[in-house]
Amino acid sequence: MPEEAVTTLHAELDRFGRVEEGFALLEVFLEVARPRLGAVVLDPVGLQLPAKLTDDRPVVQKLIDEIEQEPQGRGRVVERPFDMDDEQARWDYVRLAYSSNQATVWSRRQRTTYFEVSGRHKATYWLPDSLKVQYFDALTSREWAIPEDWLTAVAKRPKPWWKRGGR
Residue 148 within a domain: yes
* CA–CA–CA angle 116, 120, 126 (5° rounding): 20
Per residue in 42-89, pLDDT (tens digit) is 999 889 988 887 778 899 999 999 988 877 766 665 788 999 999 999
Phi, psi dihedrals of residue 128, rounded to the nearest 5°: -60, 150
Per residue in 18-37, pLDDT (tens digit) is 888 999 999 999 999 999 99
Number of domains in the chain: 1
Range of the domain at 118: 6-68+77-161
pLDDT band at 111 (very low <50, low <70, confident <90, very high): confident
How far is the first Cα of the chain from the last one, in angstroms, to the nearest whole number?
25
Residue 1 within a domain: no
Which pLDDT score, from 0 to 100, does residue 74 have? Answer: 65
Per residue in 155-164, pLDDT (tens digit) is 998 666 555 5
Stretch 109-136: mean pLDDT, rounded? 91
Residue 167 within a domain: no
Q: Where are the alpha helices (DSSP H) in the chain?
A: 19-33, 57-69, 87-97, 129-141, 148-152
Residue 124 within a domain: yes
